[in-house]
Chains A and B, each alone.
Chain A
Amino acid sequence: MSVSNKNSVTIFIDDQPYQVSTEDNLLAGVLSQKLNLPYFCWHPSMGSVGACRQCAVTQFQDENDQRGRLVMACTTPVTDGMRISIKNAHASEFREQVIAAMMTNHPHDCPVCAEGGECHLQDMTVMTGHSAREYQGTKRTFTNQYLGELVGHEMNRCITCYRCTRFYNDYAGGKDFGVYGSKNQVYFGRQTDGALESEFSGNLVEVCPTGVFTNKAFSAHYTRKWDLQSAPSVCSHCSVGCNLSIGERYGSVRRVMNRYNPELNGYFLCDRGRFGIGYVNGEERLRQVKGISQQSPVQLSTLDIAKALSHFRLKNFIGIGSARASLEANFYLKNIVGNRNFSVGYNDSEMQAAAQHAQLMQLGRTPNLAEIETSDFILIVGEDITQTAARMALSVRQALRNAAIAKASSIGIPSWQDSAVRTIGGTLLSPLFSLNSTTTKLDDVAEQALLIPVERMSLCLQALEKLLSLGNKKIVEKHINEHFLQDPFLQEQLSSSEQHFVITVYQGLCRANKPMLISGTSLVNAELLESIAKLMLSFKQDNGITEPGLIITPPYSNSVGALSLLDEHSLSIEQVLTKLSEQVDNEKLLKLQGVIVLEQELAKCSENQIQQLRALAETLIVLDHSENRLTKLADIVLPVAAVSEGDGHYINYQGRAQKFTQVHPPVLPIQESWRWLDSIADTLGIKVSVENTSTAPLSALAGGSANISSKAKTMTKNTSCQSLLQLHQFFAQHYPSWPELIADIDSESNDRATARMSHRASGRTSQMANISVHESKTTQKSDDDFRFSMEGASIRQTSNMPFAWAPGWNSNQAIGQYQEHINGTLTQHSKANFIAISADLANNTHWQLVNKVASDSDKIDYSESVPNSLSYVQQQSIYFSEWQAALTPEFKMLKQSNQLFISNVTAEKMGVKSRQWCKVVFSATNEQKQLVSQTVIGQVMVLANLPPSLVFGNFPLCQSLTHQLEMKITAAEAQEKTDHLSQFNDDVLAAKASKEAVLKRLKENDQTIPIRLVSGGLNDA
């Protein structure tokens, strides 16, 4: 879709000249001028199809043509000097008639429809001026379907604009939804009831201009958009960092909407980002402190905390931070405990992978999602991005259309003519190559998707590296098969399918103008990342091949933030445990009082390791927002604000720092983890570099100078940080490496804070009228760019809009009024802020890879027998792989029963068939030379193209059982299957009960609005 202002020509709209780009269609051009022209089926990301006929305007041949003819603006190209009229009576009447026609069947649902108040149909109806009903007949009706727990279905409201199927099927590649029927009984739904399978189904809520598809969780505890209080936020579930608008009312989070960012998420989110906010209201939320006695029963004060922590004055702790905690909190923790006592909760393998990741981030600028969408060649290695960085997978799908778009362009069809481009393109796709250990949803659009264990991926990349080092592509490509035949490494080490893969990837790269290489850290394999680094180097050679953009997607919202804090002294979890146990043995060591755990559930640690941590730490202080193994064992538990309840920054996969803003202050004692750490720092002190008394920029943190002093001294802290700004100022004062994240407040501009509520927010509603009609004072907050009120600067003056609204545009389509031109940057936009990621972590030899000598075990045994040594990979799941999202009750209800994917060779040997219920026993020898085994009941699924040495499934196996394992499969007894299924059913029912319990609690709380007069620390009421 067009984003530029080049090729600008003059056109005349109602005799007024305007500058419009010839890359846009007429509708986009008109809307870019902020003129009102109604539309339904056109979408800025999905282009034009000409179905609804709503955008009709009159086009004149020249100045003398008085009559003109009606054209549909969305399918009309912009041409120099064209003359059109929007106001022309013929066109306006026609547009009004189109609404009237849609209204013949549209039910009078507005008062009870969730869309009301942010409904695009309402807005367009008002825009056309249609008001009187002439149709006297009956309305056609439909039965609705159960489409899952996330998206509601009310087909009577449908105006048949086709946007839902165009998004779900064409844009997002979904298969289980579609359009049925004909005439005025067209039906959008599934063949049978059932949860929508696409990871992007939630976008139907925003894409549908009426209330056919609604946010079910939002509808269950509903409020009108104009009553919502919103703030600009960032998704807390993965490293893409999509921008969100989170809305709350009366202290409970209600829903997440997309917040337009042209470089990242654009107009769409994934379901985890949209619905994964459920954990904020979840039953597992921690709402009270543990281990701190309060003076006053009603309120916890800072004195209480000071008293409780007073035993630890200036004592040493180990700090375990987390890739999902804010940058501020992690940074603070590191400087409280000192960089020699700091971990981010990674185990040894993850630290090795992180060292590689840090080095990879030195290679150059990481492309954003919009740039990925312009790529003509994509190679994905070892990462199922549809599950781990879903929004990126959606962008990859758009990139694959570039071949078809180019083909259409060659015969003069612009990219916005969506149906024409798809007709011309047919099944033509730009090349996508995928090297993975599990099947992924992108496999069906990949030119080749090779399933191999992670060890072999490195070999394939090495082979590719060899080809790239052979010389100029023109010569190498001609003799490529000979090169392969001559090289013993390639011949012996790679299977024929791997060879074929490498050769076709090479050939694709030869032709690519804008290639991308996408990988991630889910497989926790440092060797793979190292082979990627070596591969990237080979592009620098003189081979005429364009260097690809490199994207590494770590798992969590602030993984890169955590990475930026790791240095050569940072500890892995194993090292933490060792350090704790060493002090037990050696009294001379500096005594460690205990461990402070910051928002880290240590999911990868075994039960033994957790117990060990508890046993070795004299004092265990845990800060988190929801219950987990550690909070249950801790001495002190401090309840932490979720992403909607506080301020902070996450660093996305590119190193881009993005601020999430408090939507509403949480009920005390819940507060941001950096506030808790501020109190802790009062007692424990902070570590600063010994030399840091002058203005010389030395610090105890990661950063380039060779004179780094490794000695840090503990300093008592004098100030208390009441706001994020004060915290940043504090950091800047004491730690020169702290990045500049908050721009100075520009005193010349309108410095009124932006209202979090719309100007229509009912200051007084009847919700509490039975108790009191008095509305309390609005919450005050210092150094806030926003106000907890409808009073404040209009959203049009800020680059971070809490919600999208414009006069006449009540739905999210209003964003068009704030873009410089359709699909472009926002008129108010601040420059993206990228922080530096150093590779100091790699200086620690402990995390460096030992060069492996090629052993016999690397050679593949191509005999058809089942190898004794298997590896198991657990499939990633957008609903279950990330701990916070997995707490959402609606996601828990999507749990599937156990499935294990095996090769047909294995199936034959074990005598089982596909879909058969089996008992699978996995066994292996762990590092302590003990035999570990685990039994799983589940269905085996046979995949013909799976190598016999690899199996994958949707259930977890303990750490020792992922590699070098043995597997025995037998048919499951009927009772075993029944037991498993009944347990599974119980889990799903429990999830449903949990959802209902949450809803009940939220509704009960509707009459107990928690009012915070000041949003600050504990001392503020």
Chain B
Amino acid sequence: MSDSWQSSNIKPLTEWVNLQQPPTYSEYCQHGGYQGAKHAVLEHTPNEVLEIVKNSGLKGRGGAGFPTGMKWSFVPMFAEDDENAPENKYLVANADEMEPGTFKDRLLLEGIPHQLVEAMIIAGYTIGANKAYIFLRGEYHLAAKRLQQAIDEAYQENWLGEKIQGSKYSLELYVHCSAGRYICGEETALINALEGKRANPRAKPPFPQVAGLFGKPTIVNNVETLSNLPHILKNGIEWFQAIAPNSDAGSKIYGACGRVKTPGLWELPMGPTLREILFDYAGGMQDGLNFRGLLPGGASTDFLVAEHLDTPMDYDSIAKVGSRLGTGGLIVLDDKNCPVAMVLNLMRFFAQESCGWCTPCRDGTPWAVEVLTRIEHGKGRIEDLDTLAKLCDFMWIGKTHCALAPGAVEPLRSALKYFHDDFLQHIEQGCCRYNPESLAKRTQVATAGRAVS
């Protein structure tokens, strides 16, 4: 984890992050905290805040990149005495950060929990939510503790509870620690889990904005997305849009992991190139290793290789070269590690995390694991590559109930494309050339005269 923060134009999200001791309420206020919430709740109507967020161009940071304001605009709003108004409306922060290679939300949750609390007040006010939940990945124990402390402080200072700061708006905020399941990162599966049901994603329509948690209007937003709100409300739209030079507004927390010199997280204006992140911030590959490829946004994105390194890391540009920005955290593959083994490892994860609802994901991912395992252990056949290609097609978008399987397929299909030779080598030579044990076995076996099929 890098300690030295590279100076860039503005780093609103991480500027006051302190992992040793996150800012208390008063410290947070000294840094301008709760100003945004004050503007929103005391000086604007919910509709005005909605317009601000829409016009800011803020997009979801959880991986989908959907415009946040537009998402909120589908929530039905009611007058105070309207008898058709549902008894509750909900705001949920998706803090179930389980995408492999992603740890940006953890930084925010552990390092500056008040920022999220303030953000949820703003968001809750805008959509008319009276109850809010932080759906927190259960393994983030420290974050749970720190968030609850921040929430307690906020209640004390009348930023939560009845009639916030003397306004007519009330909000109850709870931390809910999940039992630990990747699929809970999918917003409708998250809602089911919050209701105490099995974490299967829901069919849409209805969309959560209309019928979500307990059948009521609900908004689910990523932690990083929400964390932008205090700053947008405090500093204004022009400021937010001026951060980044291109059409995607604001800053983003980028990350890198793998065998690079300085893995970590860096908040930067939207759009640095892959090369900049990899070499300028992550320090390039460790000594003795060369760059082979990377997944630009977490495990469920397509591989990009050397030819793509000058692509800017924004949603459109990465999509144009055949991958996804996703969460913006790089997973870097070096040339001394087996791509087949990497993909096998990822596929095992997805097969384990499949919720078991729909056939292609539930039965397709373990099938892919079976094939990849055999290939990795030198028992693959040339037909297996066709099988893998068919499985990639079988589990693609539109054929499954949610995006887990298509995400699982992205590293596999891009690996088949870019690392085809490695797959062939495993099959033809009956071993993994990156693995000395495997190599040794094969040499023995080869000398014993085994025919390689």
Interfacial residues, chain A to chain B (CB-CB below 8 A)? 49-54, 56, 69-71, 75, 94, 97-98, 101-102, 104-105, 134-137, 159-160, 162, 179, 181-186, 408, 411-413, 417, 419-420, 423-426, 428
Most buried by B among A52, A137, A182: A182
Given contacts A183-B354, A423-B215, A424-B206, contact A134 B362 (CB under 8 A): no
Return the contact of B358 from the options A51, A71, A105 (Cβ within 8 A): A51
Q: Tell me, in angstroms, the Cα distance from A588 to B230 when the chains sit together.
A: 107
Closest to B199 in A: A182
Given contacts A98-B360, A101-B364, A136-B370, contact A183 B401 (CB under 8 A): no
Given contacts A98-B360, A417-B203, contact A182 B354 (CB under 8 A): yes
Would you list the 9 A-B pairs with minimal beta carbon distance, nearest first? A426-B215, A137-B370, A101-B363, A186-B356, A424-B211, A183-B354, A182-B356, A97-B394, A53-B359
For residue B351, CB closer than 8 A to chain A, the reply is: yes
Nearest chain A CB to B310 CB, angstrom units: 33
Contact between B387 and A70, CB atoms less than 8 A apart: no
Q: Tell me, in angstroms, the Cα distance from A425 to B211 when the chains sit together.
A: 9
Nearest chain A CB to B131 CB, angstrom units: 15
Closest to B215 in A: A426
Closest to B379 in A: A136
Nearest chain B CB to A910 CB, angstrom units: 39
For chain B residues 350-408, which have a beta carbon within 8 Å of chain A? Answer: 351-360, 362-367, 370, 374, 387, 390, 394, 398-401
Contact between A54 and B367, CB atoms less than 8 A apart: no
Contacts A/B (CB < 8 Å), 12 sampled:
A50-B358, A71-B398, A101-B394, A134-B387, A179-B198, A183-B352, A183-B362, A184-B366, A411-B205, A419-B202, A419-B203, A426-B216
For residue B214, CB closer than 8 A to chain A, the reply is: yes
Return the contact of A413 from the options B206, B214, B365 (Cβ within 8 A): B206
- Chain B residues with CB under 8 Å of A98's CB are 359-360
- Chain A residues with CB under 8 Å of B198's CB are 179
For residue B77, CB closer than 8 A to chain A, the reply is: no
Q: Tell me, in angstroms, the Cα distance from A185 to B363 when the chains sit together.
A: 10
Contact between A102 and B359, CB atoms less than 8 A apart: yes
For residue B175, CB closer than 8 A to chain A, the reply is: no
- Chain B residues with CB under 8 Å of A408's CB are 206
Most buried by A among B352, B364, B387: B364
Q: Tell me, in angstroms, the Cα distance from A419 to B398 when the chains sit together.
A: 18
Contact between A53 and B399, CB atoms less than 8 A apart: yes
Nearest chain B CB to A147 CB, angstrom units: 21
For chain B residues 159-214, which have a beta carbon within 8 Å of chain A? Answer: 181, 198, 202-203, 205-206, 210-211, 214
Q: Tell me, in angstroms, the Cα distance from A104 to B258 when the chains sit together.
A: 35
- Chain A residues with CB under 8 Å of B363's CB are 101-102, 104-105, 184
Q: Tell me, in angstroms, the Cα distance from A183 to B365 when the chains sit together.
A: 9
Contact between B366 and A183, CB atoms less than 8 A apart: yes
- Chain A residues with CB under 8 Å of B366's CB are 104, 137, 183-184
Most buried by B among A54, A134, A183, A420: A183
Contact between B353 and A183, CB atoms less than 8 A apart: yes
- Chain B residues with CB under 8 Å of A104's CB are 363, 366-367
Contact between A136 and B390, CB atoms less than 8 A apart: no
- Chain A residues with CB under 8 Å of B206's CB are 408, 411, 413, 420, 423-424
Contact between A136 and B374, CB atoms less than 8 A apart: yes
- Chain B residues with CB under 8 Å of A181's CB are 356
Contact between B362 and A426, CB atoms less than 8 A apart: no
- Chain B residues with CB under 8 Å of A419's CB are 202-203
Contact between A50 and B355, CB atoms less than 8 A apart: no
Q: Tell me, in angstroms, the Cα distance from A134 to B374 when the chains sit together.
A: 14
Q: Tell me, in angstroms, the Cα distance from A54 to B399 when the chains sit together.
A: 10
Q: Tell me, in angstroms, the Cα distance from A423 to B360 when the chains sit together.
A: 24
Contact between B359 and A101, CB atoms less than 8 A apart: yes
Given contacts A49-B203, A179-B198, A411-B210, contact A54 B359 (CB under 8 A): yes
Return the contact of B360 from the options A53, A159, A424, A428 (Cβ within 8 A): A53
Q: Tell me, in angstroms, the Cα distance from A162 to B200 when the chains sit together.
A: 12
Q: Tell me, in angstroms, the Cα distance from A987 to B448 when the chains sit together.
A: 70
- Chain A residues with CB under 8 Å of B203's CB are 49-50, 75, 417, 419-420
Contact between B205 and A413, CB atoms less than 8 A apart: yes
Most buried by B among A101, A102, A412: A101
Closest to B390 in A: A97
- Chain B residues with CB under 8 Å of A101's CB are 359-360, 362-364, 367, 394
The digit string for B433-453, where 1 denotes a CB below 8 A from any CB of A, is 000000000000000000000
- Chain A residues with CB under 8 Å of B370's CB are 135-137
Q: Tell me, in angstroms, the Cα distance from A136 to B198 when the chains sit together.
A: 31
Closest to A140 in B: B366
Q: Tell me, in angstroms, the Cα distance from A423 to B362 when the chains sit together.
A: 23
Nearest chain B CB to A48 CB, angstrom units: 9
Q: Tell me, in angstroms, the Cα distance from A54 to B363 when the chains sit together.
A: 13
Nearest chain B CB to A55 CB, angstrom units: 11
- Chain B residues with CB under 8 Å of A185's CB are 356
Contact between A183 and B355, CB atoms less than 8 A apart: yes
Contact between A420 and B202, CB atoms less than 8 A apart: yes
Q: Tell me, in angstroms, the Cα distance from A137 to B374 when the chains sit together.
A: 9
- Chain B residues with CB under 8 Å of A136's CB are 370, 374
Q: Tell me, in angstroms, the Cα distance from A162 to B355 when the chains sit together.
A: 13
Q: Tell me, in angstroms, the Cα distance from A179 to B367 when the chains sit together.
A: 23
- Chain A residues with CB under 8 Å of B356's CB are 160, 181-186
- Chain B residues with CB under 8 Å of A411's CB are 205-206, 210-211
Closest to A187 in B: B356
Closest to B381 in A: A136
Contact between B399 and A424, CB atoms less than 8 A apart: no
Nearest chain B CB to A253 CB, angstrom units: 38
Contact between A423 and B398, CB atoms less than 8 A apart: no
Return the contact of A53 from the options B216, B358, B367, B387 (Cβ within 8 A): B358
Nearest chain A CB to B364 CB, angstrom units: 6
Return the contact of B205 from the options A53, A56, A412, A425 (Cβ within 8 A): A412
Q: Tell me, in angstroms, the Cα distance from A134 to B388 when the chains sit together.
A: 11
- Chain B residues with CB under 8 Å of A425's CB are 215
Return the contact of B359 from the options A160, A417, A423 (Cβ within 8 A): A160
- Chain A residues with CB under 8 Å of B205's CB are 411-413, 420
Contact between A182 and B355, CB atoms less than 8 A apart: yes
- Chain A residues with CB under 8 Å of B351's CB are 183-184
- Chain B residues with CB under 8 Å of A134's CB are 387
- Chain B residues with CB under 8 Å of A428's CB are 215
Nearest chain A CB to B399 CB, angstrom units: 6
Q: Tell me, in angstroms, the Cα distance from A94 to B351 when the chains sit together.
A: 20
Q: Tell me, in angstroms, the Cα distance from A49 to B355 when the chains sit together.
A: 15
Closest to A421 in B: B206
Nearest chain A CB to B75 CB, angstrom units: 13
- Chain B residues with CB under 8 Å of A75's CB are 203
Q: Tell me, in angstroms, the Cα distance from A52 to B205 when the chains sit together.
A: 18
Nearest chain A CB to B261 CB, angstrom units: 37
- Chain B residues with CB under 8 Å of A420's CB are 202-203, 205-206, 211
Nearest chain A CB to B212 CB, angstrom units: 8
Nearest chain A CB to B369 CB, angstrom units: 8
Closest to B401 in A: A50
Closest to A138 in B: B370
Most buried by B among A54, A102, A159, A186: A186
Most buried by B among A49, A423, A426: A423
- Chain A residues with CB under 8 Å of B358's CB are 50-53
Nearest chain A CB to B109 CB, angstrom units: 26
Q: Tell me, in angstroms, the Cα distance from A34 to B351 when the chains sit together.
A: 38
Q: Tell me, in angstroms, the Cα distance from A857 to B176 when the chains sit together.
A: 57
- Chain A residues with CB under 8 Å of B181's CB are 182
Nearest chain A CB to B415 CB, angstrom units: 20
Nearest chain A CB to B427 CB, angstrom units: 14
Q: A50-B358, A53-B359 are in contact. List 15 more A-B contacts (CB 8 A).
A: A51-B357, A70-B399, A101-B360, A101-B367, A101-B394, A159-B359, A160-B359, A182-B356, A183-B352, A184-B356, A186-B362, A419-B203, A423-B215, A425-B215, A426-B215
- Chain A residues with CB under 8 Å of B400's CB are 53
Q: Tell me, in angstroms, the Cα distance from A70 to B356 when the chains sit together.
A: 21
Contact between A135 and B367, CB atoms less than 8 A apart: yes
